[in-house]
Amino acid sequence: MTLLADVWYVAWRELIKFFRARVRLIMTVIQPVIWLGLMGNMMQGLTQNPMAAQMFGTENYLAFMTPGIILMTVLFGGVFAGMSIVWDRRIGYLEKLMAAPISRAAIPFGKMLAAAIQSGIQVLIIVLIASALGVRFAAGLGGVVVILAVAMCFSLILSGLSLTLAATIKVQETLMAIVNFLTMPLMFTSNALFPKEAMPGWLAAIASVNPVSHAVAPLRELTISGWNWAGMAPSLGVVVGLAIVFLAVAQFAFRRATAE
Amino acid sequence: MKNVIEVEELTKIYHDNLVAVDDISFSVGEGEIFGFLGPNGAGKSTTIKCVIGLLRPTQGRIRVHGVDAIHHPGTVKRYIGYAAQETAIDDRLTGWENLYLQGRFFHLSREEVLTRGREILELFGLWERRGDLTETYSGGMLKRLDIAIALIHRPRILFLDEPTLGLDVQTRAVIWDYIQKLRTEHEMTIFLTTHYMEEADALCDRVAIIDHGKIAALDRPGALKAQIGGDVITVRFLDSGPATLSLVETIRSLPEIVEVSQGEDGITRIVVRQHGDRVIPELFSLAIHHGVRIDSLRLKRPSLDDVYLHFTGRDIREEGGSREELHRARRAQRRLRR
């Protein structure tokens, strides 16, 4: 139980700062508006073409794109979780945490929980904006809850990866460079913004193993077609499984990096 | 006096084979203010970090309040408050939030944090500013907050690594007051490191001088000063001639006097084994007896600075030390920042 309390207070600190950074909060709202409002409208012409509509699986490009935007936001948010550990190390806060009788695992877990909650909030905002722009979520309110859950699991994967890197890379700038190097290819080799059917074969092959695609699949299903457990199960399994793996990996990496 | 910290044959070798602490032993009594002095990279912070469970010693035994600190770091951490060299305050949080988090990390209940937190912040004069982001605090306020935070769980032993580094004289005086108050009112044991010798002299019951990872000297400041040599009295006589010469001879024959030398400038330098202040009246009466007038007289007692320099040898390590020592100090510094 104390582990859970420790995890919560590590997360609590991050969340206070998240809500306090107003500009950042506003940006998290503006960004999806721009993507959905501008990009979505621009691309609307594409799905009016029946051939393309078949590829996208919907005549509403916005509906196709919303899951992609959700994951992109989670992706770009989650990968920065590691930065806070680098920062804490720099200002000596990490040492202070470790001088307290808390479980060492609570530190990475708390940071990951904070990243997941932040992502959840951002996803909720995107869902609301998408609804206002005319996207009807086929699986209804329950579907939105599952979308949130999947997005948060996806956030655990990304923040876990980021924390694992941050455990060994102690320079903020280097971490930034590596994270940026990873996120863009992850995004564009997935089917988050374009259907696999429209991709050349080699790219489609990458896309089908890309974890981002696995996170997109259930989201798209719930947004466009509705409840289809059989279709979603494999991808859900991959996402939840990876989330658990990265909880363990981040924890292990952090323990190793702080053992001396 | 009961010992609350017992360190035996502690050695810490880092992964890169840097021997930071080399087989040191010492103990600290309950309610004592114990000072750790030494140049940068001497092993002060490493020793503290081993005792408080942040670093794993390569060898040796550490007991805090009778508990084995190496095998039960969790228990020991509850007895200990630690304020690091660099103030570790989250500047995007308010003073209260920083304090509250620390209380929760030490598993205090919400009510405990509320009552103790107010008590401590009032003591440190920070209660009025508790709701402000700490990025608006001055350096002195941050240091006070950092020490206040280290006290939230009512530790039995407080570790202060350079508590007054970079602070102005007023703030330093305030922090000295707090440290003394904590000892007298809360019977807390305080273990501090410092570069300010006058601070160690004024505050500490005992000091250890550490250099190259070894303890070079450990005693009460007064005893250490007595150990490295006596007080020096410098006198300028108004008269010269046979009377003065005979006076100097008489002084030389006094039992407490170690050495008397006369400079070209007419100044007589008298080295006294100890208690130079008690020799002065005798000098006056001897001078009157010999009919010699004294122009001026000055007593200089060895300071802890002299003691420190005696044991560590060089004033500035980077200038006096070898290349290897310079690297060693830099590496140790970097390690602290990492």
Residues B290-314: tens digit of each pLDDT: 888 888 999 988 888 888 888 887 5
Residue B336 confidence (pLDDT): 47
Task: Please report residues of A whose CB lies closer than 8 A to that of B88.
Answer: 91-93, 95-96
Residue B328 confidence (pLDDT): 53
Identify whether the C-beta of residue A96 lies closer than 8 Å to the C-beta of residue A89: no
Distance CA A182, CA A174 (A): 12
Closest CA to B105 of B123, B88, B122: B88
Residue A215 confidence (pLDDT): 92
Closest CA to A36 of A73, A90, A4: A73
Is a pLDDT exceeding 70 seen at residue B325? Answer: no
Is a pLDDT exceeding 50 seen at residue B320? Answer: no
Q: What is the pLDDT of residues A34-87, one digit of tens each?
A: 888 777 777 777 777 777 777 777 777 888 889 999 998 999 888 888 999 999
Q: What is the pLDDT of residues A10-21, one digit of tens each?
A: 999 999 999 998
Is a pLDDT exceeding 90 seen at residue B173? Answer: no
β-pairing, B3-13 with B19-29?
antiparallel
- Mean pLDDT across the stretch A179-200? 85
Asked if A100 and B90 come within 8 Å (Cβ–Cβ), the reply is no
**In percent, how much of chain A has pLDDT > 90?**
47
Distance CA A128, CA B213 (A): 62
Interface predicted TM-score (ipTM) of this complex, two decimals: 0.88
- Mean pLDDT across the stretch B96-104? 96
Confidence band (pLDDT; 50, 70, 90) for B93? very high
Is a pLDDT exceeding 70 seen at residue A237? Answer: yes
Q: Quote the minimal CA–CA distance from A166 to chain B in Å.
A: 12
- Which 23-82 residues of chain A touch chain B by CB within 8 A? none
Confidence band (pLDDT; 50, 70, 90) for B197? confident
**Tokens 């024959």 belong to which residue?**
B253
Asked if A96 and B102 come within 8 Å (Cβ–Cβ), the reply is yes
- Mean pLDDT across the stretch B274-295? 88
Confidence band (pLDDT; 50, 70, 90) for B193? very high
A93: CB partners within 8 A, 6+ apart: A87, B88, B89, B90
Q: What is the pLDDT of residues B27-76, one digit of tens each?
A: 999 999 999 998 888 889 899 999 998 899 999 999 999 999 999 988 99
Asked if B105 and A16 come within 8 Å (Cβ–Cβ), the reply is no
3-class SS letters over A201-237: HHHHHHHHHCHHHHHHHHHHHHHHHCCCHHHHHHHHH
- Which 43-62 residues of chain B touch chain A by CB within 8 A? 52-56
Neighbours of A185 (CB within 10 A): 11
Confidence band (pLDDT; 50, 70, 90) for B332? low
Distance CA A72, CA B26 (A): 57
Is a pLDDT exceeding 60 seen at residue B242? Answer: yes
Is a pLDDT exceeding 90 seen at residue A245? Answer: yes
Identify whether the C-beta of residue B162 lies closer than 8 Å to the C-beta of residue B194: yes
**Three-state DSSP class for residue B148:** helix
3-class SS letters over B87-132: CCCCCCCEHHHHHHHHHHHCCCCHHHHHHHHHHHHHHCCCHHHCCC
The single-letter DSSP state of residue B303 is P
Q: Using a CB–CB cutoff of 8 Å, tell me whether A170 touches chain B.
A: yes
Residue B321 confidence (pLDDT): 44
Q: Using a CB–CB cutoff of 8 Å, tell me whether B15 touches chain A.
A: yes
Closest-CA residue of chain A to B85:
A92
Average pLDDT, chain B: 87
Q: What is the pLDDT of residues A19-35, one digit of tens each?
A: 998 888 888 778 888 88
Is a pLDDT exceeding 60 seen at residue B190? Answer: yes
Q: What is the pLDDT of residues A148-161, one digit of tens each?
A: 999 999 999 999 99
Cross-chain CB nearest to B82 (options A89, A99, A170): A99
Distance of CA B201 to the CA centre of its chain: 7
Q: What is the pLDDT of residues A105-134, one digit of tens each?
A: 999 999 999 999 999 999 999 999 899 888
Residue B255 confidence (pLDDT): 86
Q: Quote the minimal CA–CA distance from A13 to chain B in Å.
A: 8
Distance CA A4, CA A180 (A): 32
Q: Using a CB–CB cutoff of 8 Å, tell me whether B273 touches chain A.
A: no
Distance CA B57, CA B77 (A): 16
Asked if B88 and A6 come within 8 Å (Cβ–Cβ), the reply is no
- Mean pLDDT across the stretch B80-100? 93
